[in-house]
Structure 1
Amino acid sequence: MLSMKTSVDVTVVGAGPVGLLLACELALQGVRTTVLERLTAQADTIKAQMISGLTRQMLGMRGLGPAIDAASEEEADRLAWNPRRSTGHFAGLFKLDGLPLVMLSQQALERILEARALDLGVEIRRGVEVTDLGLGSEYVVGCDGGRSTVRRLAGFDFPGTGPTLTGYQAVVDLEGDLPHGWHRTPRGVHASGPLQGRVMLIEYDGPPATRDVTREALEAALRRVSGRDVRITHVHTATTWTDNTRQATTYRRDNVLLAGDAAHVHSPFGGQGLNLGLQDALNLGWKLATGDSALIDTYTAERHPVADRVLRNTLAQVALTRPDPRSRELHSLMSDLLDLPEVKARISAMVQGTDIRYETGCDHPLAGTFLPGLDLADGKGATTAVDGREAVVRPDGYIARVGR
């Protein structure tokens, strides 16, 4: 049981990308921060493999661009990945042009953020399991994933819809003919690539009985869904996922807050989860550092609607990809709609998050939107010119107001 008094101002529970980035944001503001992590070492299970162009811009504000680009180039070379051939997708419809993707595994991003956090003086304590919230700090932030202990201990409501499918993501050695790309069949969805040996498949017959994935179970599922005589000879890494879709009704209860998957869970359709969580951290960090309760409350006000939209669009994508005849017709209709430039632009902006606009009380059309190209490495915000007028930019890169 952790209940000792410490001198830290904020305790972040969870040393994934969201928790580490939040710790960096707090440290930039001079806040003493400790990160507690249950695992003794970084997990090597396959997770997110890319970040969006918007997230890359946001992390670039903090001077992390060179490290991210170097890691991305190294991974792309090692995995023979050509980003120019990659586009974003909606329900497996790869028609979202203008959606830049940056090859960067979650593990590589965690290493970059952990190095930065340590440079900033953050204390990271691994092998520590939190069993109560008496941590001796002014605030506790749960960044401890979809099964968040912090969320449970603090009593946050977490309503939503239960799981209806079993998804697999794995890197394997495969024998047999499995076509590249996404494919819908009468039994589900299977996909291969863009990375060598990476497979994804979905069966719409309920949630997985266990989170453990054996070679035999994965091979049987792939054969069922694809209808092909394929054999998996070795599993390098594998995980399961579902469409469990839930969101905390508020992201704050007194001095306890939630970010990332601790605050919202959904299926990985569209690759939105990691970006959503990182942007939570960028929104929360500078607000929490002020200790201003009213400002901290705007974290829920601003980020809850953003996550709600992601939850809704991922549920829609699940519905579109189901193998029944009605869903197949909806999928075909959506494919036709995405050929319309205005529909494609709207869906692309939604998945990327580039259309987010926070309420600022300023009526300038750019107020509340993200302003790219700024160097905010100190996390302090800036004053710059927008349309020839003085504009105040928040530490997370969003425009607070534009002068007359």
Structure 2
Amino acid sequence: MKTSGDVTIVGAGPVGLLLATELALQGVRTTVLERLTTQADTIKAQMINGRTYQMLAMRGFGPAIDAASEAEAAGLSWRPTGATGHFAGLFKLDGLPLVMLSQQNLERILEARALELGVEIRRGVDVTDLDFGTEYVVGCDGGRSSVRKLAGFDFPGTGPSLTGYQAVVDLEGDLPFGWQRTPTGVHAFGPLKGRIMLMEFDGPPATREVNREILEASLRRVSGRDVRITAVHTATVWTDNTRQATTYRKGNVLLAGDAAHVHSPFGGQGLNLGLQDALNLGWKLATGDSCLIDTYTTERHPVAERVLRNTMAQVALTRPDPQSRELYSLFSDLLDLQEVKSRISAMIQGTDIRYDTGCDHPLTGTFVPGLDLSDGKGTSVVLDGHEATVRPDGYISRIGK
């Protein structure tokens, strides 16, 4: 199968669509191929973190995100107070506020912009080889990435140890809002109306099927409550399979998002990680500079590696055995210390990321919020009395003397 264009992106999820807009802003002809014929309506990520919002706002997406977020927030049934995120269900983090935004609404916003910029999106396409006739191919096609497998990327890591469910349901019976740890697992109710999350630490799922009977049985086991699910509107099964490609580039094939790294959804970090992959890669790929493109792996691989580590730690903290429960209690006390709280918050939100740009100034490699980079180009600003060169992704590459 041949496509006309300079870059072929496989996967029309948020990461693939954002990468397509990034390339289009740089004048690169881009084709996006997607296996699904229509957008998936399965429940997925429901929020983006504050740093991701700042990065999307610099591209001009702020007003559309604000409007969608306001509409979604009206449907919340519960919201934790006094915190902007959680670690293993401990709602004690601070820092930048989370932004309510479903993955489906984000995809619609990004797709509209991609089409406006002339990106070709072809749905109902199964990718069986990588001979697209384009200069580069980027796999943004999820954890079971066909591109990753076809190109032969190594994908080491640890296998699944738990079964998790996320669903929007109609319930009969009393179920408390928020996260609840029990002797048999974890269950959460809210903040979306009817949204439940379940975890059982009994090994990987026996099947990817999710139906009312499976969800109700799991909810009863974990909660120990006489509750009944009368209807399932959307549901998915997940686990803590944790893997990362050893490199994000093999020749003219690259990976981004879940195609490059998978982990449990603790802290809602996966979507943010993938979107920031796209913002890092797009402008570099557009230059065609092989050495610059290689810095995509150099900069982003350690960021994802840290996410994999902290999500594995969160799984360990939530296990129901006596030792893990005591560890959870100790970690809760530690999060009351501001230094610990700030460090964990920055790690989860990615606000402490600093890329090595080869310059010694402490501000180089850090992100500058509030800039208008909607044209996809870099800029110069004055910081600390010195002129700073800002890359197209909002990070400082150099500060003059």
SS in 1 for 2:363: coil
Query: Does 1:21 find its partner at 2:22?
Result: no
**Structure 2 letter corresponding to 1:244:** N
The amino acid of 1:205's aligned partner reads: D
Structure 1 position 35, deviation (Å): 0.2
- Number of the residue aligned with 2:87: 90
State the partner residue of 2:67. 70
Rounded to whole Å, the distance in 2 between the matches of 1:107 and 1:211 is: 21
Quote the Cα distance in structure 1 between the aligned partners of 2:184 and 2:77: 31
CA–CA distance in 2 between the matches of 1:100 and 1:167?
26
1:324 to 312, 321, 326: 321
Which residue in the other structure is 1:289 paired with?
A: 286
Partner of 2:241: 244
Cα distance in 2 for partners of 1:201, 1:275 equals: 22
The alignment's TM-score, normalised by the length of structure 2, stands at: 0.99
Select 2:147's aligned residue among 146, 150, 167. 150
Pick one of 391, 398, 401 that aligns with 1:401.
398
CA distance in 1, matches of 2:34, 2:21: 16
Q: State how far apart, in whole Å, the 2-side matches of 1:253 and 1:378 are.
A: 29
Secondary structure of residue in 2 paired with 1:20 = helix
Structure 2 Cα separation of the partners of residues 97 and 311 of structure 1:
21
Q: State yes or no: 1:165 paired with 2:173.
A: no
3-state DSSP class of the match of 2:121? strand
Deviates more, 1:188-197 or 1:19-28: 188-197
| Counterpart position of 1:389 | 386
**Aligned residues of 1:61 and 1:377 also touching (Cα < 8 A):** yes
CA contact (8 A) 2:281 2:293 kept: yes
The DSSP-based 3-state class of the residue aligned with 2:306 is: helix
Out of 112, 129, 133, the position equivalent to 2:130 is 133
Query: In structure 1, which of residues 317, 338, 344 is the aligned counterpart of residue 341 of structure 2?
Result: 344
Of residues 250, 273, 278, the one that matches 2:275 is 278
- The list of structure 1 runs, each at least 4 consecutive aligned residues, that deviate by more than 2 angstroms after superposition, is 78-87
Provide the secondary structure at the position in 2 that maps to 1:90: coil
Alignment root-mean-square deviation, CA:
1.0
- Alpha-carbon shift at residue 83 of structure 1 (Å): 8.2
- TM-score of the superposed pair, with normalisation by structure 1: 0.98
Give CA-to-partner distance per residue, 1:20-51, whole Å, 9 cap, x none: 00000000000000000000000000000000
1:198 and 2:195 correspond? yes
Contact 2:83 2:93 in 1 (8 A): no
Whether the 8 Å contact between 2:75 and 2:192 is mirrored in structure 1 is no
What are structure 2's unaligned runs of at least 5 residues? none
Alignment CA distance shift 1:84-1:71 (3 Å):
farther
Aligned match for 1:232, one of 229, 234, 237: 229
**1-structure distance, mates of 2:210, 2:382:** 54
Instruction: State the Cα distance separating 1:374 from its structure 2 match.
Output: 0.3
Secondary structure of 1:121 counterpart? coil
Q: CA deviation at 1:77?
A: 1.7
The answer on whether the counterparts of 2:390 and 2:396 sit within 8 Å (CA) in structure 1 is yes
- Please point out which of 209, 218, 222 is paired with 1:221: 218
Where 2:266 maps in the other structure, the secondary structure is: coil
TM superposition shift of 1:80:
5.4
> For residues 264 and 329 of structure 1, do their structure 2 counterparts lie closer, same or farther at Cα, with a shift above 3 Å needed?
same
1:94 is paired with a residue of what secondary structure? coil
Question: Contact between 2:77 and 2:192, CA under 8 Å: does it hold in 1?
Answer: yes
User: What are the superposed Cα offsets for residues 113-154 of structure 1, whole Å, 9 maximum, x if unpaired?
Assistant: 000000000000000111000011000000000000000000
Q: Are the equivalent residues in 2 in contact too, given 1:88–1:99 (CA < 8 A)?
A: no
Q: Which amino acid aligns with 2:57?
A: G
Displacement of 1:339 after TM fit? 0.4
d(CA) in 1 for partners of 2:297 and 2:357? 15
In 2: Cα distance, 1:218 partner to 1:99 partner: 34
Paired residues of 2:78 and 2:190 also in contact (CA < 8 A):
no
Distance 1:332 1:82, change over 3 A: closer
Q: How much has 1:78 moved relative to structure 2?
A: 3.5
121, 126, 145: which one aligns with 1:124: 121
Match of 2:256 in 1: 259
Check the 8 A contact 2:386/2:400 in 1, yes or no: yes
Asked if 2 retains the 8 angstrom alpha-carbon contact of 1:12 and 1:19, the reply is yes
The 8 Å contact of residues 383 and 391 in structure 1, kept in 2 or not, is answered as yes
